[in-house]
Structure 1
């Protein structure tokens, strides 16, 4: 307890210049702990005990390593178990100490620490255990190192989270209050996993998947106004909210090109149209306000049955690349590091979660798409082997992120793990 008291004093001193970050209107916790957020906003103790660590050794770790021995990669690459993280999905790499913050579709966000820098996690434990999260899939850092967590219908920020995460009480700010990210009437278990990323303009970008396979026509105006089925952006304080892109069914992967600052995103397309249509999408936003075609198009240039007699909006932007149908491309990242060979630099890695309603399962792999001068080349499999010839999933990749040493992290919510792919010249 003495350690936490000292940490609280240090945190208060550190946060003093932040002002608005450490303050905000009181807001109740979605899980019913009404005073938890109020206390944390005021940097007061909630009396929450430190969360228990997640074991990193034993049968589970051994079984995962056995599976990883079957994964095929290009020459010179190898894959290892980095951490066991239950329900692991979106990954945010701390810009200073390299601590990972890992979102889930459950009620927890996890921290992953590699203290001795041997590229294997030493400690994994829940973050901010006093806060009850709801579907906290979205985790991302601002340029000045503030952690943002996007839930089903709320956004929180945590100043200095990377330095004070060991304390169960962490300072926070309510960026978007519970029930104000989307209309409460549109909350759903379907397509509820948000993703977030900070742009070169310093604004927070959030993808809002819409809850239907294909939405009814009477929902279109509401969705266009609120950004459901699109991408919104706002200031780090939750102000100046605007709809940045529309015509998006369910994007679970965003990143910005270092080359031209453009936003790229994956999009998962309509189910139930057959095994081989429609394709998935990798898209590029060239300016605010662009429409990417959904629900008039189910993926690529394939029209949906529900909107086949409707006139699509003018100037629909079609994907840079059509991805394999129903492979469920989720997380994506540009590779701007130096560990991998030159051919990978500036390109995009994407995580395919794998199909769920296809006669012959497809996906469960990491793909690579080269990018040059703002144009995408042909996507190719990079890491494969989580889907057996018999159609059994040994794992389902969700997100990809670049560690500070240039290696590639891959999350897997089926095995509950994070893998690390590294390279040494053969």
Structure 2
């Protein structure tokens, strides 16, 4: 069997790990047929997006966006700085899009200007400025729209449903925003099923209902504006003690999969390649 090398960008969470000369990669248990190695060191790394010849990386508290050439020394270059939690990055038609809490930014023709990056231009400033669940994973959908989630500004509350706890899609040409899914507490990862085109997304469940409840979720959007329960019903069957009175879980879309309580899923991706072992295709 051919062995697949999975290049992994290490997300430095603990200062001690960031300062270490050697990362404990040998302690990671991988299925047969996989290998792992360090690709690059990027402080405070979050979402990644592939350009034509470059890996782009967002960050959180660092406030920076990085570019890593895929050829050569793989030395990260800062292409934007001083931003408000620029977690999300998405590449399309030569331009890089960045989420920065209330704003979606664009760096035009970025791969031709890595040594002298353009000033980020504002595509939209219409999103809420709340930082609680305010960082945003972003991605372009098959429809060419940029999908932008807006988390609930709390652990549990009943926010404006047109502003919070939803997934939106943004027309980057006109700036028009449409709500695609509601009742979503905080998604930090989504993708489209290659055959059906359905949008699948993770959702992080609320806290303070116990160690084992409620489950974090994987959900599927079957129709625009579909409601997935937050803050009234959790994991398809658990009424919220504060906001669930008078509600029926049957009125909301149940999760496609329950992942366990407090697992905080931070990504979802459909694999369409051919290099993974057969059981993972």
The TM-score bracket by the shorter chain reads 0.7 to 0.9
Higher strand share: 2
Q: Tell me, yes or no, if the aligned pair for 2:79 and 2:114 is still in contact at 8 Å.
A: yes
Q: Is 1:100 matched up with 2:100?
A: no
Q: Give the 5 Å matches for 1:100-249.
A: 100-106=55-61, 107-116=63-72, 122-129=74-81, 132-142=82-92, 144-167=93-116, 169-170=117-118, 172-177=120-125, 180-182=126-128, 184=129, 187-188=130-131, 190-216=132-158, 219=159, 223-226=160-163, 228-249=164-185
- The structure whose residues are more often helix, as a share, is 1
Q: Name stretches of at least 5 consecutive residues in structure 1 with no aligned partner.
A: 1-58, 346-426
Higher relative contact order (CA 8 A, sep 6+): 1
- Counterparts in 2 of 1:145 and 1:301: CA distance versus 1, 3 Å: farther
Cα shift at 1:113: 2.0
State whether residues 236 and 252 of structure 2, in contact with CA within 8 Å, keep that contact through their aligned partners in structure 1. Answer: no
Partner residue in 2 for 1:260: 196
Greater Rg, structure 1 or structure 2?
Answer: 1
- After the TM superposition, which residues 383-402 of structure 1 pair with which residues of structure 2 at under 5 Å, given as runs? none
2:77 counterpart of 1:77? no
Q: Relative to 1, partners in 2 of residues 1:61 and 1:126: Cα closer, same or farther, differing over 3 Å?
A: farther
Work out the CA distance in 2 between the residues paired with 1:238 and 1:213: 33
Any conservation in 2 of the 1:148–1:156 contact (CA below 8 Å)? yes
Among 258, 261, 268, the residue aligned to 1:322: 258
1:304 is displaced (CA, Å) by 1.4
Contact 2:204/2:217 (<8 A) preserved: yes
Give secondary structure in 1 for the equivalent of 2:261: coil
Number of residue pairs aligned between Structure 1 and Structure 2: 263
1:338-417 equivalence runs, <5 A: 338-345=274-281
Q: What is the CA–CA distance in structure 1 between the aligned matches of 2:166 and 2:268, rounded to whole Å?
A: 17
Q: CA deviation at 1:342?
A: 2.9
